[in-house]
Amino acid sequence: MKKPTVISFIALLFCTVFANEQPVGGDDRLRITCTTTLMSSVVRAVGGDRVNVHTVIPYGMCPGHFDLTPGEAETLRSADMILCHGFERFLDGIETGPGTKKITVQIKGNWMIPQVYLQAVTNIRDILTEAMPA
């Protein structure tokens, strides 16, 4: 892929974060709660209309300084799947629902680098394919 194409692809994914924030709620789609907008933009782009995505940490907020609210804790408990980076301390000791899968997306490097971001896209694609084989 040429650099302008990669940058355009990443810009498109970021735009979906701001245009498509959807509440986790009562439909048949897989309810996925992502800890950051970087992750939720990938899940929306890959999962399309088969997923209902909620982002815990708002855009522009430092994940290291985020405090979980009771409402966000309830959203985590009601999710089918929680996707995180692994550095989110607010997830330590949080109770999840009986069927909730917590998955750490293992990517080395800064997600803002196009090659690293594309690796994240591939990993999340694999996670969603396993959860929704059809």
Say what percent of the chain tops pLDDT 70.
Answer: 81
Question: What tokens does 17 get?
Answer: 């974060």
Question: Predicted confidence band at 1 (pLDDT cuts at 50, 70, 90)?
Answer: low
Question: What tokens does 61 get?
Answer: 């907020």
Q: 3-131 sits in which CATH class?
A: alpha beta
Highest mean pLDDT among 24-28, 78-82, 105-109: 78-82
Q: Would you kindly state where each structural domain of the chain is located, as residue ranges?
A: 3-131
Q: What are phi and psi of 30, to 5 degrees?
A: -70, 125
DSSP 8-76: HHHHHHHHHHHH------SSSSEEEEESSHHHHHHHHHHHGGGEEEEESSPTT--GGG----HHHHHHH
Which residues lie below 8 Å from residue 109, measured CB to CB, with a gap of 6+?
116, 119
